[in-house]
């Protein structure tokens, strides 16, 4: 077994997949597309933000030979379906400035890797922009696609070319892998790249930052959930008190009803007015 850094960390995912040969091999196996590139940008942004929102692409490569842009996003958000749709559209709209008409010069493909899973528990879902007839047959007019993949939900129907990639990503999450279980040379290179004994001080620092940020978000979610539950309980108790008070209006005076139910005199008076 080999100790590795988890690919759930953005800094580690970028370290492995920003290598051009790894990036192109991954894209070929996931999308079936051959890329001709010599570098991959990380934290890519456009100089003129679309819609006054500056997006940052985790991994971004432009193939000028085959006229293709591919970006890979890596992080789960509450709004990740809508968020990365926006990013994808930004990469399309950014081209419109220099185009003669509304046809982008480059096809845009987005791969979103959700290492921590997703509420729908699917290994893959896709947004396909190609127009389709009522039978679901595409016209082949628009190539742009967004593919969301969740290694956690690998199953018997997952495409064979995807399997080792998804297995390795998910296998790394506990920071220990059996490298002999993988036969794809590019997957093996990913595992070699993320070995713990090859990490730099900067890698370790960024991982600690990401871990702390995730723990903070977790605490905030738990706090919001607890507050929501408490408010729900308080609302339920209040409604119960109102019901009891309404039944006592013909039997007791307002002061006594308020004492018995914990309501204010004003609340009891309002109940009496509504009768």
Q: Note the pLDDT tens digit of each residue in 151-165.
A: 999 999 999 999 999
**Encoded tokens for 133:** 């007839």
Q: What is the Cα–Cα distance from 63 to 67, expressed in whole angstroms?
A: 6
Closest CA to 151 of 199, 187, 183: 187
Q: Which residue has the higher pLDDT, 134 or 226?
A: 134
Residue 18 lies in a domain: yes
Residue 252: CB atoms within 10 A of its CB come to 15
Q: What is the Cα–Cα distance from 164 to 145, expressed in whole angstroms?
A: 22
**Encoded tokens for 123:** 């290994």
Residue 82 lies in a domain: yes
On whether both 181 and 257 belong to a single domain, the answer is: no
Q: What is the Cα–Cα distance from 46 to 107, expressed in whole angstroms?
A: 17
Domain count, the chain: 2
The DSSP letter of residue 73 is E
On whether both 23 and 89 belong to a single domain, the answer is: yes
On whether both 175 and 249 belong to a single domain, the answer is: no
Confidence of residue 228 (pLDDT cuts 50, 70, 90): low
For residue 219, what pLDDT is reported?
78
Q: Is the pLDDT of residue 235 over 80?
A: no
Q: What is the Cα–Cα distance from 162 to 111, expressed in whole angstroms?
A: 13
CA angle 7, 8, 13 (to 5 degrees): 45
Which stretch of 11-15, 48-52, 79-83, 204-208 has the lowest confidence by average pLDDT?
48-52
Q: Distances from the Cα of 209 to the Cαs of 50, 99, 206, 238, in angstroms?
A: 29, 41, 5, 43
Domain boundary among 143, 169, 199: 199
Mean pLDDT across the stretch 74-80?
Answer: 80
Percent of the chain with pLDDT over 70: 96
- Contact criterion met (CB below 8 Å) for 211 and 203: no
On whether both 58 and 186 belong to a single domain, the answer is: yes
Confidence of residue 35 (pLDDT cuts 50, 70, 90): very high
- Contact criterion met (CB below 8 Å) for 141 and 131: yes
Q: What is the Cα–Cα distance from 61 to 68, expressed in whole angstroms?
A: 8
Residue 81 lies in a domain: yes
SS3 198: helix
- Contact criterion met (CB below 8 Å) for 187 and 172: no
Q: Which residue has the tokens 């690919």?
A: 7
Q: What is the Cα–Cα distance from 57 to 8, expressed in whole angstroms?
A: 16
Q: Give the pLDDT confidence of 41-58 residue by residue, as tens digits.
A: 998 888 777 777 888 889
On whether both 195 and 229 belong to a single domain, the answer is: no
On whether both 226 and 167 belong to a single domain, the answer is: no
The domain of 243 spans 220-274
Domain boundary among 199, 228, 256: 199
Helix (H) / strand (E) element for 60: namely: strand 57-63
- Contact criterion met (CB below 8 Å) for 151 and 128: no
Mean pLDDT across the stretch 46-71?
Answer: 83
On whether both 8 and 136 belong to a single domain, the answer is: yes
For residue 232, what pLDDT is reported?
62
């Amino acid at each position: 077994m080999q100790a590795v850094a988890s690919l759930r960390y953005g800094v580690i995912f970028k370290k492995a997949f920003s290598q051009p040969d790894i990036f192109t091999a991954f894209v070929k196996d996931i999308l079936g597309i051959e890329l001709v590139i010599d570098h991959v940008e990380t934290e890519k942004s456009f100089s003129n933000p679309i819609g006054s929102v500056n997006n940052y692409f985790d991994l971004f490569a432009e193939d000028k030979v085959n006229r293709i842009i591919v970006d890979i996003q890596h992080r789960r958000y509450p709004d990740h379906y809508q968020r990365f749709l926006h990013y994808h559209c930004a990469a399309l709209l950014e081209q419109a400035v220099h185009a003669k008409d509304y046809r982008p010069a480059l096809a845009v493909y987005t791969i979103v890797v959700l290492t921590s899973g997703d509420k729908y528990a699917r290994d893959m879902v896709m947004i396909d922009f190609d127009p389709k007839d009522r039978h679901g047959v595409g016209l082949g007019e628009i190539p742009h696609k967004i593919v969301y993949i969740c290694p956690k939900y690998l199953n018997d129907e997952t495409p064979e070319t995807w399997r080792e990639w998804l297995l390795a990503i998910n296998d790394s999450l506990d920071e220990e892998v059996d490298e002999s279980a993988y036969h794809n040379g590019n997957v093996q290179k990913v595992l070699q790249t993320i070995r713990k004994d090859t990490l730099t001080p900067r890698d370790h620092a960024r991982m600690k930052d990401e871990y702390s940020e995730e723990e903070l978000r977790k605490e905030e979610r738990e706090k919001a959930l607890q507050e929501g539950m408490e408010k729900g309980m308080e609302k339920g108790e209040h409604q119960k008190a109102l019901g009891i008070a309404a039944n006592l209006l013909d039997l007791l005076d307002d002061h006594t009803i308020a004492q018995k139910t914990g309501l204010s005199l004003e609340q009891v008076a309002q109940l009496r007015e509504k009768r």
